[in-house]
Every structure is written in structure tokens, then in C-alpha cells.
């Protein structure tokens, strides 16, 4: 499998839209949004059912979330980008360094035993760790699109493993959420996400 995706130039989206070219040639944003949502919901069920004692939340697992969720729709599912990318004033990891930066993050996560030991530890400690890695992955922003959803799913599987429900973001406005993401990328400040996660973490 190719590990990188080269195609984010003008040909990545359909002309004058923010809809990525897709296998069904769908150009209606509501339809594409609904399909993405449906694929994501189905994938949550599948990955939740697949959680086992020996599941490793490693890089391969992270990539497989993106690939298996969206490969029926997008050719670049599961592939890292190799071009530079920004949103607003935030510049994400440069394309050329994604592979190596990703390895570093997941090596650190391995040292933390993939956050698999938090069932009986203080929720505050867990939220701090989750926020740290969420910021790291947000700043990496490794995929062309769908980074937010796949990153949330990744941490939802980790918290499930530890006996928690999926993280509840319902009390956070989109603006508050993006501000936390901006603080992560531009100021390496994960305290906003830490509060959001702590507030959204509830035992099953």
C-alpha cells in the first residue's frame, strides 16, 4: 500500500466545492456528509465490537480506523498526506515530516502502554494524557480530510477499553472546540481539551 497521498492540489476537490473527489462522484455536500456520517456510525460499532484485551492502539490501528471507515468512499482512505497544510492561522506538521513525527507520537504512546491502564486510575490523570495525545495528533493532522472524526474515534476506543462511554462533546460549541484545537497547534496548550475531555468522560 502507498503510505502517502500526493493529490491535494486543485484536483483533490471537485471544482469550486469543498467536496473531495469520491468513488461515487457525488457532488452534493449534504449527501456526502450523510454518507460519511453513516460510514462513521457503522465503523464505531465494528471497532467497538473488535476491542479485545490485547488490542494495541498503535499507529497501524489509528490508520486502519481511517482506512476501514472510508475506503468505500475515498481512494486516499488510510493514507497520510505528504503536502503542507494549514487551517486559518494554524500550520499543521509539514508533509515531509508526517511519517517521522507520527512514529514519535506513537512510540511515546507505546511507552504509556497505549493508555490501556486507566480503568482504576484517577479520571483527571486520564483526561490529561488523552488531551496531550489529542493535541499531538491534531497538530500532526496526518490525513487529507476527516482528521477530527477519526481522532475522536481513536480516543473513544481507548476510553471504551478503560470502561468509559465515548467522550461526550455535546456541551461544547463548535467554536469552543476549534479554539481548543487552535491553542494546541499554535501555542502547544492542551488545557482547553483537557477540560473538555474531563467534562465528557463518564464511566459506563
Ligand X SMILES: Nc1ncnc2c1ncn2[C@@H]1O[C@H](COP(=O)(O)OP(=O)(O)OP(=O)(O)O)[C@@H](O)[C@H]1O
Chain positions contacting ligand X, by CB under 6 A = 87-88, 90, 138, 145-149, 178, 181-182, 185
C-beta closer to ligand X: residue 88 or 163: 88
C-beta closer to ligand X: residue 90 or 101: 90
In angstroms, the CA 3 to CA 99 distance is: 9
Place of cell 490501528: 61
Helix (H, G, I), strand (E, B) or coil at 17: coil
C-beta closer to ligand X: residue 145 or 190: 145
CB 44, min distance to ligand X, A? 14
**Residue 122: how many CB atoms within 10 A of its CB?**
9
CB 54, min distance to ligand X, A? 28
| Contact present, 123 and 165 (Cβ < 8 Å) | no
C-beta closer to ligand X: residue 87 or 103: 87
Q: Point out which residues pair with 17 in neighbouring strands.
A: none
Strands 4-5 and 80-81: parallel
CB 98, min distance to ligand X, A? 13
> Who's near 51: CB < 8 A, 6+ residues apart?
157, 160, 161
C-beta closer to ligand X: residue 36 or 59: 36
What are the two backbone dihedrals, phi and then psi, of residue 16, each rounded to the nearest 5 degrees? 60, 25
Residue nearest to ligand X (CB): 148
In angstroms, the CA 129 to CA 152 distance is: 14
CB 141, min distance to ligand X, A? 6
CB 169, min distance to ligand X, A? 9
Amino acid at each position: 500500500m502507498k503510505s502517502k497521498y500526493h493529490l491535494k492540489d486543485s484536483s483533490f476537490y471537485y471544482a469550486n466545492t469543498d467536496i473531495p473527489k469520491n468513488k461515487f462522484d457525488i457532488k452534493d455536500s449534504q449527501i456526502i456528509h450523510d454518507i460519511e456520517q453513516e460510514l462513521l456510525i457503522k465503523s464505531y460499532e465494528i471497532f467497538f465490537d473488535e476491542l479485545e484485551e490485547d488490542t494495541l492502539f498503535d499507529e497501524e490501528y489509528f490508520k486502519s480506523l481511517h482506512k476501514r471507515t472510508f475506503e468505500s468512499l475515498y481512494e486516499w482512505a488510510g493514507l497520510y498526506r505528504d503536502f503542507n497544510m494549514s487551517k486559518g492561522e494554524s500550520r499543521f506538521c509539514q508533509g515531509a515530516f508526517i511519517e517521522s513525527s507520527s512514529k514519535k507520537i506513537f512510540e511515546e504512546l507505546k511507552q504509556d502502554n497505549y493508555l490501556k491502564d486507566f480503568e482504576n486510575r484517577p479520571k483527571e490523570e486520564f483526561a490529561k494524557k488523552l488531551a496531550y495525545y489529542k493535541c499531538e495528533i491534531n497538530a500532526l493532522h496526518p490525513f487529507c480530510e476527516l482528521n477530527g472524526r477519526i481522532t475522536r474515534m481513536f480516543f473513544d476506543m481507548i476510553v471504551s477499553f478503560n470502561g468509559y462511554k465515548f467522550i461526550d462533546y455535546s456541551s461544547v460549541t463548535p467554536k469552543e472546540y476549534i479554539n481548543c484545537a487552535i491553542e494546541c497547534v499554535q501555542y502547544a496548550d492542551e488545557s482547553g481539551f483537557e477540560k473538555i475531555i474531563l467534562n465528557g468522560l463518564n464511566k459506563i
